């Protein structure tokens, strides 16, 4: 029985100069991307009339393309304009995920393994996706680790990194948790399987320092900046699992759900604390232009 390939929500994709509804067939069995994984993507959000940091996400997709050995064929400004064109195709009732993508069609001359930059293709996919995170999330320490830059292409937001995240989440859910707290090869906590992570101890905000083993996200940077401008002490350093187990609060940041409180870490229950609530408030105030936190 054939698998239903239709998307699970209203979806529009811009490719080769036109907007197509649904899930258009773009990658074939001989495509380098399908065969050897030369894909990069990014993700921004539209909700309630705004798309926070859309420009930064569109800049990052082009950096990811270069890191993968692809050739950006759209400027960040062109991608931003297309994104707003796509948003207008929706009814505005549901939040939208904005996903620019590049991939390679062919291997380079002399080596099929390395992608041919001249075969780069671009698509911009938008689909309805409600904002998540309400009610908090639970974490367990994952037995799996993040790779180092010497062992994987950690400098790009590439699809090839995400099967590792997927098995982290599947393993965590098999034990009754929503997500996983993840370490690097040295045993330091770096993030969750799908978002950046913060902890609070005695009023001080702490988050793992960007060490090139994980995606130090755009929302992470925005929240750090907003908290510091609001007078919070924010430290970026190396932290152990035990450090997180002793935290007063833990919260995550990411484009998909912005700021989410952690309510359980393995056997320890936590409350969504005042710093977590303030981080979300500061972010939303900035996003809707209700504060003077603009850079």
C-alpha 33/C-alpha 71 separation (Å) is: 14
Could you tell me if 244 and 265 are in contact, meaning their C-beta atoms sit under 8 angstroms apart? yes
The reported pTM is: 0.94
Spacing of C-alpha 175 from chain mean position: 24
Q: Write the CA distances from 91 to 52, 87, 96, 128, 156, integer angstroms.
A: 19, 9, 10, 10, 33
Q: Which CATH architecture has domain 137-288?
A: Alpha-Beta Barrel (3.20)
137-145 and 258-265: which strand pairing? parallel
- The mean per-residue pLDDT over the stretch 30-43 comes to 97
- The mean per-residue pLDDT over the stretch 241-269 comes to 97
Q: Write the CA distances from 211 to 78, 149, 155, 185, integer angstroms.
A: 31, 9, 11, 11
Confidence at 95, pLDDT banded by 50, 70, 90: very high
- The mean per-residue pLDDT over the stretch 120-132 comes to 96
Q: What is the pLDDT of residue 132?
A: 80
Closest to 201 measured CA to CA, from 266, 275, 136? 275
The CB-based long-range contact list for 243-249 (8 Å cut-off, 24+ gap) reads 243/189, 243/199, 243/206, 244/181, 244/189, 244/197, 244/199, 246/201, 247/199, 247/200, 247/201, 248/199, 248/200, 248/201, 248/202, 248/273, 249/199, 249/200, 249/273, 249/274, 249/275, 249/276
Cβ atoms within 10 Å, residue 189: 23
Could you tell me if 82 and 14 are in contact, meaning their C-beta atoms sit under 8 angstroms apart? yes
- The mean per-residue pLDDT over the stretch 146-161 comes to 96
- The mean per-residue pLDDT over the stretch 125-140 comes to 92
- The mean per-residue pLDDT over the stretch 186-196 comes to 98
Q: What is the pLDDT of residue 290?
A: 77
Q: What is the pLDDT of residue 291?
A: 46
CA dihedral 100, 214, 280, 246 (to 10 degrees): 160
* pLDDT tens digits for range 213-238: 999 999 999 999 999 999 999 999 99
- The mean per-residue pLDDT over the stretch 72-91 comes to 98
Closest to 220 measured CA to CA, from 268, 182, 258, 173? 258
- The mean per-residue pLDDT over the stretch 140-161 comes to 97
- The mean per-residue pLDDT over the stretch 46-70 comes to 98
Q: What is the pLDDT of residue 133?
A: 72
Quick one: fold of 11-128? D-amino Acid Aminotransferase; Chain A, domain 1 (3.30.470)
C-alpha 184/C-alpha 190 separation (Å) is: 6
Could you tell me if 141 and 180 are in contact, meaning their C-beta atoms sit under 8 angstroms apart? yes
Judged against a pLDDT cut of 60, whether residue 292 lies above it is answered with no
Could you tell me if 186 and 147 are in contact, meaning their C-beta atoms sit under 8 angstroms apart? no
C-alpha 182/C-alpha 199 separation (Å) is: 14
Could you tell me if 159 and 75 are in contact, meaning their C-beta atoms sit under 8 angstroms apart? no
- Domain ranges in the chain are 11-128, 137-288
Q: Which two tokens stand for residue 139?
A: 């974490």
C-alpha 64/C-alpha 256 separation (Å) is: 19
């Amino acid at each position: 029985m054939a698998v239903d390939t239709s998307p699970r929500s209203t979806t529009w994709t811009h490719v080769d100069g036109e907007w197509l509804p649904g899930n258009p067939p773009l990658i074939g069995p001989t495509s380098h991307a399908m065969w050897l994984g030369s894909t990069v993507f990014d993700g921004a959000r539209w909700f309630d009339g705004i798309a926070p940091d859309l420009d930064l996400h569109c800049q990052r997709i082009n950096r990811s393309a270069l890191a993968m050995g692809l050739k950006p064929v759209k400027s960040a400004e062109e991608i931003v304009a297309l994104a707003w064109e796509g948003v207008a195709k929706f009814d505005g009732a549901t939040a939208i995920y904005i996903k620019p993508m590049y991939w390679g069609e062919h291997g380079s001359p002399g080596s099929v393994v390395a992608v041919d930059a001249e075969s780069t293709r671009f698509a911009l996919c938008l689909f309805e996706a409600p904002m998540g995170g309400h009610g908090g999330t639970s974490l367990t320490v994952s037995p799996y680790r993040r790779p180092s830059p010497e062992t994987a292409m950690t400098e790009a937001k590439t699809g090839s990194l995400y099967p590792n995240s997927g098995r982290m989440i599947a393993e965590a859910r098999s034990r009754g948790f929503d997500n996983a707290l993840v370490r690097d090869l040295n045993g330091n906590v770096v993030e969750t399987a799908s978002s950046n992570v913060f902890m609070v101890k005695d009023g001080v905000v702490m988050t793992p320092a960007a060490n090139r083993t994980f995606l130090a996200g755009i929302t992470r940077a925005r929240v750090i900046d907003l908290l510091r401008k609001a007078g919070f002490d924010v430290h970026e350093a190396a932290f152990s699992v035990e450090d997180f187990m002793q935290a007063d609060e833990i919260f995550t940041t990411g484009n998909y759900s912005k700021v989410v409180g952690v309510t359980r870490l393995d056997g320890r229950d936590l409350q969504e604390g005042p710093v977590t609530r303030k981080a979300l408030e500061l972010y939303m105030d900035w996003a809707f232009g209700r504060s003077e936190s603009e850079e």
